[in-house]
Amino acid sequence: MKKKLVLLSSLWMTTLTSAYADTVNQTLLPSPFPVYINNNMIINHPAPGFSQKQLPTNNDYKGNPGCYIICYSHQSLDAIYPVSDTIYVMGQIRVAGKYMGRVCVPSQFGGKDISAEQSFKDLCSQKIPSCSNNNCWVGGDSGGWFGIQ
């Protein structure tokens, strides 16, 4: 009896997690996306001590599944928020792909280092104004906007 309950519980959690992942991969964030900053802390909802900023968000890709890549730069000018003393977030772009955990994995780039892909650097340069001088690279750690840990 206990084994059946554990199995049923596991199946229910797998179904729930899968359904949530499907929803996340179909969700378009607002453009721009309001974020809340307190020093190096960033959250997606208002809270005491946090100030609102508008994260440039490009939603040209509306297909499913999709996820968001983040455009990063070493230049603080026009940055929305810092992730370290030398790395800043400039904006985000929705692309064809899925979240694997909290990381956006663009279609056909599973297991690859997307930060080194010139096509994504070019996309940041084209879609995010503060990246227009080709000073950005990408990463996929955007699942936190959806509560993915």
Q: CB of 77 within 8 A of CB of 46?
A: no
Q: What pLDDT does 128 receive?
A: 97
* Residue 110 to residue 28: CA distance in whole angstroms: 22
For residue 56, give the nearest of 26, 24, 91 by alpha carbon.
Answer: 91
- What mean pLDDT comes out for the span 75-101? 95
Residue 19: its H or E element: helix 2-24
Report how far Cα 134 is from the mean position of its chain's Cα atoms: 20
- What mean pLDDT comes out for the span 107-120? 93
Which pTM does this prediction carry?
Answer: 0.84
Q: For residue 18, is pLDDT > 90?
A: no
Q: For residue 15, is pLDDT > 80?
A: no
Tell which wins on pLDDT, 78 or 39: 78
pLDDT tier at 25, thresholds 50, 70, 90: confident
* Residue 37 to residue 52: CA distance in whole angstroms: 6
Tokens 């503060």 -> residue: 130
Q: What is the 3-state secondary structure (H, E, C) of 79-140?
A: CCEECCCCCEEEEEEEEEEEEECCEEEECCCCCCCHHHCHHHHHHHHHHCHHHCCCCEEEEC
The greatest distance separating any two alpha carbons of the chain, rounded to the nearest whole angstrom, comes to 63
Peptide bond into 32 cis (omega under 30): yes
Q: What pLDDT does 10 receive?
A: 34
